[in-house]
A and B are shown apart, each in its own frame.
Chain A
C-alpha cells in the first residue's frame, strides 16, 4: 500500500506525526516528510489511523 499526501490540502498540523512518528514528520517549513512512501509491514492499522485523524483529509492509502 502506498501513502499518498495531497500537498494542496496538507498544512502540516502534525496529527499523523503524533500517531505514527516513525513514518511522518512535519519539518521546520511546515511541510510533511515521509520516512517511506509505502505502508511498513504490520503497520496498516496504525497508518489507517493516521489517515483518519488528518483534520485536512490530506492523506490516503492506495494499492
Chain B
C-alpha cells in the first residue's frame, strides 16, 4: 500500500482542481485514487471517445470470440458521478498551456492545479490504407465492433502485423474457420517484445494451427473500390480480402502537447514518481515514459497493469502535498492465441534466453528465462500459468540467474514427480 500523505485540499498548499486527460484505464484509476486518497477538490475527466471508460484487452479476445459479447465497461465507470467527477467525453484535448495551467478541448479551456496526462496510444496505420471500408486498426470499442461484425459475416481476413493484437485477431478468424493470412514485415515477429528466439517460438503457434503466416513480406497496396477487395504484397502475391486489420503497433498520443513545454520523446518523459518536471503535471499509462527503478531505466509500457497502477500513483502524487511516491514494477503482459496463453514478465533485453521447460517444436508449451549479466530479468511462459507469477516475484526480489535456474529445476522435478505418481496410479487402476 502506498503511504498516504496529509492532503489539505482547499487550503493554500494543496491543489483544488485536478484534471485528468484520457478516460481509459489509467485515467479512471487516477480519478478513483484521487478520491480514495481524500482529495475533495474538483475533478474533471476528459475523454476523446464518447464511451464510458472501458477495458481494452478483451477487445481482441473475449469481445471477438464470445457468443454474446458484452461491452467491457470498467469497474466504477458507471459511478463516476457519485465520486463527484465531471465527465467531458466525446472530444479530445487539443492543447496544453502549462504557463496558464489550462487544458484546451477545442474552444473550451479547463483550468487545473494538478494534471494527469493519460491519453494513451493510438494504433499506427499503413500509409494509404485509410478511406477504404473494411480496413481497420483495433484499439477502440468502435474498431472491435466493426471487426466482430466482419468476422461474423465470414470475411476473408488479412491481418497486417504478427504482433500480439494481430495474432489474437488471427486466432479469432481461425476459430470461425475463416481463411486468414497474417503478413509480417520482419523476419521474426515480436522480436522487440520478447526477443528473436521466443518470437519465432510463438510464431510457430500460427503454423501449428494452420494459419498462413508470411514473414519478411510487406503490404504494397490495399486495393478496392470504396470497399477493400484485395491486398497486394511486396513478393507479388495478391490476397483477396473482405477485412484487413492492421496491427502494427501504437504510438503515444502526444501530438496535442506540442508547445506545452513538456519533454516528449516517444512518450511524455517523467521521473520515477511520474512527475513531468513541469509544475503540477504528471503522466500515466501508455503515454508515459517514466524511470522504472526496478530496472533503473526509462520505459514506456503498453500494458494493462502498468496503466492501472500508474494512473493511481500519478493522481496521488499530483494531489498530494509532499514529495511523490516512486513507481517501480516488473512489467507483465499476456496474450491469448489458439487456446494457448502467452505470459511475459520482466524485460526482454537479455544476454541469454534459455528454455527451461518444454519444447517449442513439440506442442508450443514452454518456460523461457531471460538473463542480463548475472541477473534474472524476464520470463516467458506459454501455458504455464502456475509458474509465471512466481518468476515475477523472483525478478522483483532481484533474483540472480542461478536462483531462476534453481527454481526451474524445482518446478520440473515437481512436474516429473506428479506425472510419475499419476502413472503409478493409472497402472494400479488398470490392474484392478
Contact of A13 among B334, B386, B393 (CB under 8 A): B334
Q: What is the number of residues of chain B that contact chain A, defined by CB distance less than 8 Å?
A: 20
A46 to B1, CA, bound (A): 7
Pairwise interchain contact A18-B392, C-beta atoms closer than 8 A: yes
8 A Cβ contacts from B40-89 to A: 55, 57, 75
Pairwise interchain contact A26-B1, C-beta atoms closer than 8 A: no
8 A Cβ contacts from B65-122 to A: 75
Chain A residue at minimum C-beta to C-beta distance from B418? A28
Pairwise interchain contact B305-A15, C-beta atoms closer than 8 A: yes
Contact of B386 among A15, A27, A57 (CB under 8 A): A27
* B385 on the A face (CB < 8 A): yes
Pairwise interchain contact B305-A25, C-beta atoms closer than 8 A: no
* A36 on the B face (CB < 8 A): no
The contact string, 1 if C-beta is below 8 Å from chain B, for chain A 2-30, is 00000000001111011001000111111
CB distance from A38 to the nearest CB of B (A): 20
A14 to B345, CA, bound (A): 11
B341 / chain A contacts, CB cutoff of 8 Å: 12, 30
Pairwise interchain contact B75-A12, C-beta atoms closer than 8 A: no
Pairwise interchain contact A25-B386, C-beta atoms closer than 8 A: yes
Pairwise interchain contact A12-B305, C-beta atoms closer than 8 A: no
Chain B residue at minimum C-beta to C-beta distance from A26? B385
* A45 on the B face (CB < 8 A): yes
A46 to B332, CA, bound (A): 19
Residue from B305, B385, B388, B392 with most neighbouring chain A CB atoms (10 Å): B385
* A40 on the B face (CB < 8 A): no
Pairwise interchain contact A55-B389, C-beta atoms closer than 8 A: no
A14 / chain B contacts, CB cutoff of 8 Å: 343, 385, 388-389
* B304 on the A face (CB < 8 A): yes
Contact of B305 among A21, A27, A55 (CB under 8 A): A55
A53 / chain B contacts, CB cutoff of 8 Å: 305, 308-309
Residue from A13, A26, A29, A46 with most neighbouring chain B CB atoms (10 Å): A13
8 A Cβ contacts from B360-407 to A: 384-386, 388-390, 392-393
Chain A residue at minimum C-beta to C-beta distance from B415? A28
Contact of B304 among A30, A45, A46, A55 (CB under 8 A): A55
A49 / chain B contacts, CB cutoff of 8 Å: 1
Q: A13-B334, A15-B305, A18-B393 are in contact. Are A55 and B386 (CB under 8 A)?
A: no
Chain A residue at minimum C-beta to C-beta distance from B36? A52
CB distance from A10 to the nearest CB of B (A): 11
Chain A residue at minimum C-beta to C-beta distance from B414? A28
B55 / chain A contacts, CB cutoff of 8 Å: 55
Pairwise interchain contact B385-A45, C-beta atoms closer than 8 A: no
Contact of A26 among B57, B308, B332, B389 (CB under 8 A): B389
Chain B residue at minimum C-beta to C-beta distance from A18? B389
B305 / chain A contacts, CB cutoff of 8 Å: 15, 53, 55
The contact string, 1 if C-beta is below 8 Å from chain A, for chain B 250-275, is 00000000000000000000000000
Q: List 12 A-B contacts (CB under 8 A).
A: A13-B334, A14-B343, A15-B332, A18-B392, A21-B390, A26-B385, A28-B385, A53-B305, A53-B308, A53-B309, A55-B308, A57-B75
Q: Apart from A30-B385, A46-B1, what are 19 other A-B pairs with CB-CB below 8 Å?
A: A12-B341, A14-B343, A14-B389, A15-B332, A15-B389, A18-B392, A18-B393, A21-B390, A25-B386, A26-B389, A29-B385, A53-B305, A53-B308, A53-B309, A55-B57, A55-B304, A55-B305, A55-B308, A57-B75
Which A residues lie at the B interface, using CB under 8 A?
12-15, 17-18, 21, 25-30, 45-46, 49, 53, 55, 57
The 8 closest A-B pairs by CB, nearest first: A14-B389, A17-B389, A30-B385, A18-B389, A26-B385, A57-B75, A28-B386, A12-B385
